[in-house]
Amino acid sequence: MSNIDQLLQQSPQNLPVLQATFGLERESLRIDQKTQRLAQTPHPHKLGSRSYHPYIQTDYSEPQLELITPVAKSSKEVLRFLGAITDVAQRSIDNDQYLWPLSMPPQLREDEIEIARLEDPFELSYRQHLAEKYGKMLQSMSGIHYNIELGADLLKLLFERSGCQSLIAFKNDLYLKLAQNFLSYRWFLTYLYGASPIAEQGFFEKGLTAPVRSLRNSHLGYVNTEDVSVPFDSLENYISSIEHYVSTGALSAEKEFYSAVRLRGSKHNRDYLTKGITYLEFRCFDLNPFDNRGITQETIDSIHLFILAMLWLDAPQAVSLSLDKAAGLNEKIALSHPLEKLPQEAPYQDVLTAMEELIRHFQLPAYYEQLLADIKGQISNPRLTVGGHLLEHIDNLSLETFGQQKGKEYHDYAWQAYYALKGYENMELSTQMLLFDAIQKGIHFDILDESDQFLKLWHAKHIEYVKNGNMTSKDNYVVPLAMANKVVTKKILREHGYPVPAGAEFDSKDEALRYYQQVEKQAIVVKPKSTNFGLGISIFDTPTSLTDYEKALDIAFLEDSSVLVEEFIAGTEYRFFVLDGKCEAVLLRVAANVVGDGRQTIQQLVDQKNQNPLRGRDHRSPLEIIDLGDIELLMLQQQGCTPESILPAGVKVNLRGNSNISTGGDSIDITEEMDSSYKQLAADMAKAMGAWACGVDLIIPDTSLKATKENPHCTCIELNFNPSMYMHTYCQEGPGQVITGKILAKLFPEVIANI
């Protein structure tokens, strides 16, 4: 190991030492809120098939979820992944279930534990074998596995400095050293993060008399039988030893070897000799019940710092002896009282010094100095460790009440902004929804560009790219370009025989003025050709004078060099969402408003309306907070009101002239109520345009009349190539319609048969 030891210490300061990729796996039990016991329902159908689901699996038993993050390029990203997957898991299980926040399960009986109903017969029989060998109770303990691979640049630079001939041999040496040191100092982490202090009544035959740091990390945890002892002194010995136990039947498979650290990258250990170890899996972390994800950012980064310290330190000389000694120390600490300090014989100062030197040598950001300071504080004061905090919640050697309370708290947190995806709130709501659906159904995802809402989704070899949740390979390029152009859209619709407002386009005011003769007796709309935000639009719902017409032209020409003069269409505007030839949703948008109750002031009514969890700010919620700003106050004044006016019961007051959701308008899902003839017509219009995903804005004077192509009884005023989806799903009124899930199902019909 001589060319591995001291390697970090001799590296230049600008080595990208923090570069690494991370993966987390978290186990958690589903609990029934009514019984407060293990859920007896099967793994949720909503979560798709366990035969391929990359993110949400079942572990040992049917109600034990295993949440698996994708490989993350940073420690921040990995926790974000875990948060999102936790969020999806919580909202995909029955609403009256929650995830048990502790490593040790609540009270349970062996017969309540159903082995996971996996499709793979080998996996099923493997679990049955484990049940017989270790008992089902032990299997119900949950924890977090922490996977780390050192960064490619970092490895390459270290390799170059090592003098090694083979990168594979170098990586094997490096990761084996890391594993050895990790096992040597594992007790350090047991002290800091141990959080399985008690077992609920009935878990062990003989109950504990006092809380400890970590049952799970002691011999009472889920460990191999005593006859299994695998050496870590060399890779060859490690491999041969496990193969030996498998051949004698002491282990039923290589993966039955439970160690706090596992070599990873190949299915069979022997392959490491030729292919190299790719990464390490650390399996010793208890769930931190104070975080809904079971682990905090600081813990992830502190462990990362610890792992780097393990690289900084020299490898143990007499490996087996050292590891045996360390195992004894770990057992002692795991079973010590949570308020007990580290024992004198524990060489924690070695770790702290390594961390200090590392931070100094590589000039790590101040954040890591803070992490180290916190660790030192926890070593001085056991009360500051997770185990120390948890002690305060132990009641009569039980954590059931605490676990129930935290579980409910995290359940409610997940359902609080149920339209958003935790950790991804900065992305557009529709993209958050699509990501939620992808995680739920087990479609792989990668955010290629976060601010651009650009996703890569895939299943097996089938890749789909998606932007803004609805821009996909299913639409051909020229169609949205056509829809982006009002004039082109109208021409195409008209050519196909669909009703659009009559009108004309003008590039000069003179020309447009001459046109007045033709429209002087009509209600008209004057608008710039290409702006989209309502700027420069004048609406005359009765015939207007030449003077006002000219003013409207001036306003419109300020916005664009082309101006449209169209007939004004009277009626109510509805948004039809069409996907793949079918109208999936119909929405009515109405202006921001309140309805009186004869008691409250307008201000109070507004405040009450803003309590709706659907209302937020900046398009990150399905509805916007209503502000009583200048425009609203003017609108009230015109109606003879002030914010202090008390409205009679049932009287509605509009606070805005426009019906945009972005200015506090209400969304009303009327998909069921709308006559199917209009839905068909909207779908036909989208088809005529060639659009796959499309918002169709129809003005309908009287929805009781049936629409036909010959007598449409409506007019199409716009097609939208990037239609908002969330507003159809989460509405002020009406049931709401699933949209993003349908898009995903159409992108991956081989995964999602129907929705």
Contact pick of 492, 500, 563, 717 for its own copies (by CB under 8 A): 492
Please say whether the beta carbons of 610 and 626 come within 8 A: yes
Which of 522, 521, 535, 523 has its CA nearest to residue 563?
535
Please say whether the beta carbons of 258 and 252 come within 8 A: no
Q: Which stretch binds its own copies (CB under 8 A): 119-127, 289-297, 415-423, 485-493?
A: 485-493
Find the helix or strand (DSSP H, E) in which 20 lies: strand 20-32
* Using rule CB under 8 A, residue 54 touches its own copies: no
Please state, in angstroms and rounded to a whole number, the distance separating the CA atoms of residues 385 and 392: 12
Helix/strand/coil for 518: helix
Binding mask 169-208 for its own copies (x = CB under 8 A): ----------------------------------------
Here the tokens at position 601 are: 């002031």
φ, ψ for residue 506 (rounded to 5)? -130, 140
Q: Which is nearer to its own copies, 352 or 487 (CB)?
A: 487
* Using rule CB under 8 A, residue 467 touches its own copies: yes
Strand ranges in 658-737 using DSSP code E only, listed in sequence order: 666-669, 693-700, 715-720
Contact pick of 491, 599, 652, 706 for its own copies (by CB under 8 A): 491
Q: Which residue has the tokens 């507003």?
A: 727
Angle at CA of residue 371, ends 368 and 372, nearest 5°: 90
Instruction: Find the largest Cα–Cα distance for the chain.
Output: 101
What's the closest the beta carbon of residue 261 comes to its own copies, in angstroms?
Answer: 29
Please state, in angstroms and rounded to a whole number, the distance separating the CA atoms of residues 71 and 235: 25
Please say whether the beta carbons of 349 and 222 come within 8 A: no
Q: Which is nearer to its own copies, 450 or 541 (CB)?
A: 450
* Using rule CB under 8 A, residue 466 touches its own copies: yes
Contact pick of 274, 451, 547, 754 for its own copies (by CB under 8 A): 451
* Using rule CB under 8 A, residue 271 touches its own copies: no
Q: Which is nearer to its own copies, 201 or 473 (CB)?
A: 473
Amino acid at 679: K
| Binding to its own copies, residues 338-367 (CB under 8 A) | 365
Binding mask 550-589 for its own copies (x = CB under 8 A): -----------xx---------------------------
Contact pick of 473, 638, 662, 676 for its own copies (by CB under 8 A): 473
Contact pick of 246, 690, 709, 718 for its own copies (by CB under 8 A): 690
What's the closest the beta carbon of residue 197 comes to its own copies, in angstroms?
Answer: 40
Here the tokens at position 404 are: 């129930």
* Using rule CB under 8 A, residue 542 touches its own copies: no
Contact pick of 201, 476, 532, 642 for its own copies (by CB under 8 A): 476
DSSP code for 317? S
Helix/strand/coil for 262: strand
Q: Which is nearer to its own copies, 222 or 721 (CB)?
A: 721
φ, ψ for residue 585 (rounded to 5)? -160, 150
Contact pick of 153, 409, 673, 733 for its own copies (by CB under 8 A): 153
Size of the site for its own copies (CB under 8 A): 39
Which of left, alpha, beta for 257 (phi over 0: left; psi -120 to 50: alpha)? beta
What's the closest the beta carbon of residue 513 comes to its own copies, in angstroms?
Answer: 12
* Using rule CB under 8 A, residue 652 touches its own copies: no
Helix/strand/coil for 62: coil
Q: Which residues bind its own copies (CB under 8 A)?
A: 13-14, 16, 153, 365, 448-449, 451-452, 454, 456, 464-467, 471-482, 485, 487-488, 491-492, 514, 517-518, 520, 561-562, 690
